[in-house]
Structure 1
């Protein structure tokens, strides 16, 4: 996809701060330091519109990025980071639950998992939560450049088994370093927008 415009719009913590222009939204969920910000930057071909940090737990709001005036990428706070206080974790949980439970423009959640590691308990909880509420999900395995190609399918199999993934849910191999999976992931997003238009 050709990116003509990409901008950071708002860091939201409450529903009254969410954008009201009803553009389709695609949320990125994953544990701290899994590479969500790097994925956003690669998707929009910008070096650091989404601020990356070596310090896990940096994102503490829902960060909205508008792309080509046609959709939002919404970066969730990373979960599973021990040094975030219990109160903050509970606040994050409530914020995410509020968003996922009642957000009309939300078209899909991208569950971001580091291909090198089996899904965490938090990853499994998030996946089960999305399935329970009937929210479409695509599993995106980041950092594919960090392991050899002949290991990819083995690691994807482990991820699917641990999540007990629905075979209909797509898995996209991704590398923010090389751009692997960028075009495929854009196609997933655009297809989803088309599907929702047809069903309206």
Structure 2
């Protein structure tokens, strides 16, 4: 249950993130996948993450404190078409440093647009996470934008691709920010990760 969500800090330097003394859950996805809307839906705070019609709005690592207990992190998207090569390389370096060096990172949700067939860039990012030992789960977004049959078909196709890479599919959730679909399941999964982190810390 999320009762309180507050913005803490934005920055471009992973070393300047808050002290890694509590569990941290990050959200990442391709530009325009509906990340801000999903974060706002999960936390129940309408303007927490800034939504924008313009892809690539999140260019910083944004930390939010949830229930005064753990951090939720909104990461820049990947796969920007409209930025310079240098900018993109800087973002990629920032994201990869954050994901591989952040000691309190318990889980990363990779957001996938459920309206699309499996995209190479999403599969490549998931493979990178697997190779680097980044704990990833999938969230399929915008499930309300087409029939359940079509969503199921696209989800199934994506999971099949992940099984070809990893032998087994990662944990996944199907969501709709507009309808609130998947909210409880995602929060339940996060709470489990947070509790596991706390248990490890107290040992």
TM-score of the superposed pair, with normalisation by structure 1: 0.93
> What whole-Å deviation, never above 9, does each CA across 1:101-129 have from its counterpart, x for those lacking one?
11111001101001001232221121011
- Confirm whether residue 123 of structure 1 aligns to residue 122 of structure 2: yes
1:170 aligned to 2:171? yes
Partner of 1:98: 97
Unaligned runs of 5+ in 2: none
C-alpha distance after superposition, 1:154-194 (max 9, x if no partner): 11111112344643521100000000000000011111122
Moved more, 144-153 or 62-71: 144-153
Count residues in correspondence: 199
Q: 1 CA distance for matches of 2:67 and 2:58?
A: 23
| Alignment partners' CA distance in 1, 2:200 and 2:3 | 28
* 1:3-42 correspondence runs (5 A): 3-20=2-19, 22-42=21-41
Let me know the Cα RMSD of the aligned residues.
1.5
Quick check: 1:145–1:178 contact (8 Å CA) kept in 2? yes
Once residues 51 and 29 of structure 2 are traced to their aligned partners in structure 1, the CA distance between those partners, rounded to angstroms, is 14
Check conservation: 2:127, 2:165, Cα contact below 8 A.
no
Matched residues in 2 for 1:177 and 1:48: separation? 14
Pairing 1:181–2:178 present: no
1:11-160 matches, cutoff 5 A: 11-20=10-19, 22-160=21-159
Separation in 1 of the partners of 2:165 and 2:27? Answer: 17
Query: Residues 168, 199 of structure 1: CA spacing in aligned structure 2 closer, same or farther, 3 A cutoff?
Result: farther
* Structure 1 segments unaligned to the other structure (5+ residues): none
SS in 2 for 1:23: coil
Q: CA offset at residue 68 of structure 1? A: 0.6
Range with greater deviation from structure 2 (21-30 or 32-41): 21-30
Gap change, CA 1:44 and 1:158, over 3 Å in 2: same
SS at match of 1:66: strand
Q: Using the alignment, how far apart are the partners of 2:132 and 2:181 within structure 1? A: 30
Length-normalised TM-score, structure 2: 0.92
Q: Is the 8 A contact 1:13 1:61 kept in 2?
A: yes
